[in-house]
Amino acid sequence: MKIPLRIDPIRISLRDQSKGLKINHQTFVFHHEGENALKFQDCYDLGAKLRTFRDVYKCTHKATKTERSVKILGRETIDRETFLGKLAILKKMDHPNLVHVFESFEDGSNYYVVTESMAHDSLYDAISTKREAGVAFGKPHVAQILLTLLECLNYCHSHNVIHGNIQPKNILVPTGMGFDKLLVVNFFDSSVSLEKRRSSGARAGDSSDDDSTDGTSAGMGRTSKRKTRFAAPEAGADGGTHTKSDIWSCGVIGYHLLTGKYPFEKPSDSRKPISRKAWKGMDPEAQEFLRELLAFRPSDRPPASEAYDADWLALAKSVEAKVDSAMQDEVMKSLSKFSKKDKLQQAVSAYIATHLLAKIDKEKWDEIYRHSDRNSDGVISKKELLDGFAKAGIRIPRNEMDELFVRLDMDGNGVIDYSEFLAMQGDLVCQRDKLRAAFDAFDTDGNGYIEKEDLQVIFQSPGEKVISKSTAKAMLKSADQDGDGKLSFEEFVVMMGNH
């Protein structure tokens, strides 16, 4: 018997019917609330609690049998507005080193945030495992961890998000993978959206001459905790509220990984200058780099966009995974030939890229994405794409390039985002088992065909008109080979193969 998947309606504007559908990584991320909404328990089997987190559990998505993680927050621990604010931050993030959110729920007692699986090693466990496997953990690995962290923070900060609680506990490494695949997690406890603070007239925390050390929290319903050893001097017990507080935390992590010690005895000592003794024995290059990150005044610390360029981090190169250049050329070639997909193909590709790929599926593609993102801001610009083409020996006339870029940039925000990049990789998204799961998701009533009515369910935004039957019909038309007005699985596979 088919377990109904019931994708909830897509929250996008349909003013222009199917032409106006903008599909991006948030397209299928729903918040289920209200009496008739799906409940977490309808869709997931709850598993064991994850060791490293207070409130994160394993869970299995019933419909696709995939393993995910869920953070469960009691309603009494966070007010609803705060919860939705944090959720909005998480949903906005689309980066290889950040976990993807699938959906969220609320019921009478809890909030549930379902993400890709977080059942990974903690940073320290990953280091021990590597050591036990005979890998000499040393400066290049520390450099790789810091480089990846800073790149990831550069993405967050350039999207106006402060993590606020960067510490080893909140860094995971998928088993068997390099530190460049680490995941920065736990945005819920501490993250701050600068946009929100700016719009509410609060003082923005990232202005470079703002040396506020009062550590006022942005009123995000935090519970009081003890300040950690990784927290910046200006941070309160609830975390940093300044982009530069994240930078400081990277400095402490680097210091700790290199020396096994902390630059201070007690967290409260971070308000005093670091003693000269603390730097003894560290090589001068590492010292110079870490001293900058650990500058007392936030304005004296470099922003993430500069910090990751530091000479010392070049050490990471020796342990970086080699990008498979043949595969990279292949990816570039397929991008250069990327033809306009219709909305249904785009939607299916986006669904697979965001919902059905595990970290291990994406490993090689992540490397190419990262490699193509020359300035490490987490997105691929037109210029970076051109450079990638040039490297692969592909020449594209300027006017064609503009057209191509419009096709590639599915949501029209002017850059190629991580999920867009993945969705465009036919070899990645068109594996048969993935196609099967996507077909089942789009066949909302489980009758074995994707029909107009299924699309009306899928492409429906709350409060807006359902797409018309004729629009839905038109969306099916090009793939409907036998003309019966609906798509069988085989027709669906052929449609997805046309890339």
Which residues of this protein are in contact with Ca ion, per CB under 5 A?
A: 373, 375, 377, 409, 411, 413, 417, 443, 445, 447, 449, 451, 454
- Evaluated on CA atoms 60, 65, 67, 69, the torsion sign reads negative
Our CB check for Ca ion shows the closer of 367 and 451 to be 451
Output 189 or 411, the one with its CB closest to Ca ion: 411
Q: Which residues pair with 44 in a beta bridge?
A: 61
Work out how close the CB of 451 gets to Ca ion at its nearest, in angstroms, rounded to a whole number: 5
**Chain CA centroid to CA 60, Å:** 20
CB of 150 to Ca ion, least distance (A): 14
**Which H or E run includes 493?**
helix 489-497
**Min separation Cβ 472 and Ca ion, Å:** 12
Consecutive H or E run containing 251: helix 243-259
Token code pair at residue 304: 């993430």
Q: Cβ(415)–Cβ(337) under 8 Å?
A: no
Rounded to a whole number of angstroms, the minimum distance from the CB of residue 82 to Ca ion is 29
As measured in angstroms, the least distance from the Cβ of 462 to Ca ion is: 21
Nearer Cβ to Ca ion (246/377): 377
The answer to whether the Cα torsion of 492, 493, 494, 498 is positive or negative is positive
Which of 114/476 has CB closer to Ca ion?
A: 476
In the block, tokens 């250049």 appear at 325
Q: Where does residue 219 rank: exposed (0-12), middle (13-18), buried (19+ CB within 10 A)?
A: exposed
CB of 9 to Ca ion, least distance (A): 16
In the bound complex, what is the minimum distance in angstroms from residue 410's beta carbon to Ca ion?
Answer: 6
Half-sphere exposure in the Cβ direction for 90 (13 Å, CA)? 27
DSSP string computed for 95-140: -TTBPPEEEEEE-SSEEEEEEE---SEEHHHHHHHHHHTT----HH
Specify whether the CB–CB gap between 209 and 185 falls below 8 A. no
Closer residue to Ca ion in complex, CB, 89/441:
441
Nearer to Ca ion, 167 or 419 (CB): 419
Cα-only R_g, the chain: 24
Distance, C-alpha 289 to centroid of its chain = 27
CB of 155 to Ca ion, least distance (A): 9
Q: Which is nearer to Ca ion, 274 or 385 (CB)?
A: 385
The one-letter amino acid code at 467 reads I
Select 192 or 424, whichever has its Cβ closest to Ca ion.
424
Shortest separation between residue 424's beta carbon and Ca ion, angstroms? 11
CB of 163 to Ca ion, least distance (A): 20
8 Å CB contact between 466 and 390: no
Min. distance of Cβ 26 from Ca ion in angstroms? Answer: 12
The answer to whether the beta carbons of residues 294 and 274 sit under 8 Å apart is yes
Cβ closer to Ca ion: 70 or 450? 450
398 burial class (0-12, 13-18, 19+ CB within 10 angstroms)?
A: exposed
| Nearer CB in complex with Ca ion: 121/373 | 373
- Nearest by Cα to 5 from 445, 415, 457: 445
CB 193 within 8 A of CB 88: yes
Shorter beta-carbon distance to Ca ion: residue 139 or 382: 382
Amino acid at residue number 111: Y
